Amino acid sequence: MARVAVVGAGLGALAAAARLAALGHAVTVLEQAPQVGGKLGWYARDGHGFDTGPSLVTLPQLYRDLFAVTGGPLEDAVDLVRLDPAVAYRFADGTRLSVPGHAAAVPGALDAALGAGSGAQWSALMARAAAMWRITEQPFLRSPLAGAATLARLALSGSDVATVAPWRTLRGLGTAYLRDPRLRTLLDRYATYSGSDPRRAPAVLATVPHVEQAFGSWYVRGGLRRLAGAVAQRAVERGAVVRTGTPVEQVLVEGGRAAGVRLAGGEVLRADVVVSGADAAALYADLLPTSRPTRRVRHDLARSTPSLSGFVLLLALRGRTPGLAHHTVLFPDDYDAEFDAVFGVGRFRGAPRPVADPTVYVSAPDDPATRPDDASESWFVLVNAPRHDPAGGVDWDAPGLADRYARQVLEVMARRGLDVRDRVRWCVVRTPADLERDTRSVGGSIYGTSSNGARAAFLRPGNASPVPGLFLVGGSSHPGGGLPLVALSAEIVAGLVGPA
């Protein structure tokens, strides 16, 4: 039995803690915030309740696996609801498209909304994406990153290489398969699921809409934060200790291997294994002593583009919006301007800025747990935003910026047909700087590093660090961010540590 110290109680870390406790290890989770969940947060006031981070669960099977191997079914712990429709899109030309929650119904809906032939184009792309998923799931997503060994595992046949097309971007793939610009916009949006720019992210991200449509879009009744509570509860049931309000200041390295952690206030917790669920950039910059192997990881991190962040409005609204889907996306006229602004490239080279005319994502669960009464609604509104970077980019703490931009987002929504300005009871604004403060993700990046560039996936920090006994879990390490992938990172780490 190893003593395991887990840094942070984000979902990846909690999943690792549950697995390692179930394997018989003595696990202690140390979370700086007063509650568990990290980005999977919750805000409640006056009977209104909001998930402040994720609003969409994909690949729930990964959480079913987690719960099954740690002692009992997921469905006993949370109430999962499959969404149908999955998402309603409004395009800049006024077209409305409601995407059904089951893959078989998608082509028909596309033909009806976008014109005959759209469904066939999308189906051909999804068939290619399904093949990409079969090729990459096991050797890449479900296995540790191991330099040349990963490449050897990925030693693909010529036809597999042609299918995955590692040289191709998501935009390039969309252009090859989709003639309708609205379909291409729809595909481009999936790059943002990993915080990336479709013009630079790899084509293999087409697997994201594939898994979303093949396995469904899901909600957790009562709010997604319940998933974090349930995983924490499972870890505790298996014997883990969870300490909140407990910042880790340093990962101790003795004789070249991880030896425990030092907490704020000086307490030392000795451990045989340290699992860090903190942002990898913060781990390598602040928590670990510098050494030659860690310098190498810092170098790789410096060569990666950080993921985008998000600007969030939590809107407590009077009244209800008839016919509103659970998820609605309002697209702008010029999607590329959004990526230029967020990443400071193209026309905004070197000068990232809040997006003037952003894509707006509205999540409005029809769930009594989120509203004070049936004549009210609670909307989570998200727009892509550059990370908080007072030194070289956007300073989200600049006086007046957050309020000004919140008004701008509400105006954009009004222009695109969702005018709620006279229904706002109150509005809470959460900027990338708030996300950084609350979860210690550097710059408020949602997913650590982005997938921009063909090598990005290989530059992302691995789950086994160069320091023996120190492992990384969560969205800023392999295989990446988002609820499904962090579950995979936990599975990989539990496999690397092994049973007690």
Quickly count: other Cβ atoms within 10 Å of residue 403's Cβ.
11
Query: Which range in 48-56, 126-134, 237-245, 344-352 contacts ligand FAD by CB under 6 A?
Result: 48-56
Q: Does 53 bind ligand FAD (CB under 6 A)?
A: yes
**DSSP E strand boundaries for 170-308:** 218-220, 241-243, 248-254, 257-263, 268-270, 273-276
Q: Does 434 bind ligand FAD (CB under 6 A)?
A: no
Q: Does 10 bind ligand FAD (CB under 6 A)?
A: yes
Among 20, 103, 273, 312, interactor with ligand FAD by CB under 6 A: 312
DSSP string, 25-69: -EEEEE-SSSSSBTTS-EEEETTEEEESS---B--THHHHHHHHH
For residue 332, is the peptide bond before it cis, meaning its omega torsion is within 30 degrees of 0? no
Q: Does 183 bind ligand FAD (CB under 6 A)?
A: no
Q: Does 30 bind ligand FAD (CB under 6 A)?
A: yes
Residue in the shown chain whose Cβ atom is closest to ligand FAD: 10
> Cβ closer to ligand FAD: 248 or 412?
248
Among 40, 259, 301, 345, interactor with ligand FAD by CB under 6 A: 40
Question: Is the CB of residue 196 less than 8 Å from the CB of residue 187?
Answer: no
For residues 478-496, b (16+ Cβ closer than 10 Å) or e, as one string?
bbbbbbbbbbbbbbbbbee
Q: Does 278 bind ligand FAD (CB under 6 A)?
A: yes
Residue 202, helix vs strand vs coil: strand
Of 30, 12, 27, residue with least CA distance to 66: 12
> Cβ closer to ligand FAD: 196 or 439?
439
The rounded distance, in Å, linking the Cα atoms of 445 and 474 is 13
Q: Does 31 bind ligand FAD (CB under 6 A)?
A: yes
> Cβ closer to ligand FAD: 17 or 178?
17
**Cβ 373 to ligand FAD shortest distance, Å:** 26
Query: Which range in 4-12, 119-127, 157-165, 337-345 contacts ligand FAD by CB under 6 A?
Result: 4-12
Of 55, 499, 466, 45, residue with least CA distance to 256: 466
**Cβ 329 to ligand FAD shortest distance, Å:** 12
Residue 460: strand pairing partners: none
Query: Which range in 47-55, 77-85, 116-124, 402-410 contacts ligand FAD by CB under 6 A?
Result: 47-55
> How many binding residues for ligand FAD (CB under 6 A)?
37
Residues 241-260, interacting with ligand FAD (CB under 6 A): 247-248
Residue 257: strand pairing partners: 254
Backbone angles phi, psi at 221, to 5 degrees: -60, 135
**Cβ 179 to ligand FAD shortest distance, Å:** 29
Q: Does 11 bind ligand FAD (CB under 6 A)?
A: yes
Q: Does 273 bind ligand FAD (CB under 6 A)?
A: no
> Cβ closer to ligand FAD: 248 or 456?
248
Residues 456-475, interacting with ligand FAD (CB under 6 A): 474-475
Question: What is the side-by-side strand order in the sheet with 327-330?
Answer: 96-99, 87-90, 327-330, 360-363, 376-385, 309-318, 424-430
Question: Is the CB of residue 103 less than 8 Å from the CB of residue 86?
Answer: no
Query: Which range in 54-62, 149-157, 288-296, 453-461 contacts ligand FAD by CB under 6 A?
Result: 54-62
**Cβ 258 to ligand FAD shortest distance, Å:** 15
**Cβ 250 to ligand FAD shortest distance, Å:** 9
Q: Does 432 bind ligand FAD (CB under 6 A)?
A: no
Of 441, 445, 460, residue with least CA distance to 141: 460
The rounded distance, in Å, linking the Cα atoms of 426 and 324 is 20
DSSP string, 344-410: T-GGGTT-----SS--EEEE----GGGSSSTTEEEEEEEEEEPPB-TTTSB-TTSTTHHHHHHHHHH
> Cβ closer to ligand FAD: 264 or 375?
264
Give the interface with ligand FAD as residue ranges (CB under 6 A).
7-13, 30-33, 38-40, 53-56, 247-248, 277-278, 310, 312, 382, 435, 439-441, 446, 474-476, 481-483, 486
